Structure 1
């Protein structure tokens, strides 16, 4: 019953994350995964672009051509503190509440933030806390808060 309510993107995401639970990185061929899930290769691109990016705790590399592949690596900011700068750049000038949640969750999962710190940061960046007239202003404020926290974390490394 649950399978019917889930879309193909969710199923592909779950499949790849299950693999990444066991190993730090996975190399896939887009066409093979598309065949396996009976979908078009662009569906695989969509899942990787929207759900496996640095804001979600992943670095994706790809090689095009006949022997091409897509490599997805689960990053650990403790082992790769330079990625904090990349994450700051990825946040840029605005970030949605959902994307902010994902970043905070990854910082917690990587043991960079305690549960209490993560919960405080979630509260401080929530729509309810920011309460500004527009979504654009809200996303801008959330980005500024997260960038300042990340810069502080980088200094403490």
Structure 2
């Protein structure tokens, strides 16, 4: 199991956050392409499943979207909260497991997932926690983007 599967228990939170900062800086263009693939209009809600350190939440908000971050790690959610706050952006974060999202039907115009890791997410379809979750949470005509841009993680 890699350290990202359970950041809180790994004892490596600060190290993993530094890694995500480095990766973010190195993958700006692929992430721009992935974000554009969402095709979510400004003002609409986007779910960032496994939001990590919140880099993409900031970019989604800057593009005028209402970004909601979900992560199972408290360390990651705190980093996201601090990052969004430092940019003066709304903080919409939920501590939840990808297999049990606390959102009503048609809650989002889009969903993004990147680098979902660990045994709890290994069997997930590429763009959603479970097929019925993708159908249940995004609204009709919603966009979805998934990916693992860049080199494989060393974690």
Higher strand share: 2
Higher CA-based Rg? 1
TM-score normalised by structure 2 residue count? 0.26
TM-score normalised by structure 1 residue count? 0.26
Higher helix share: 1
Bigger relative CO (Cα 8 Å, ≥ 6 apart): 2
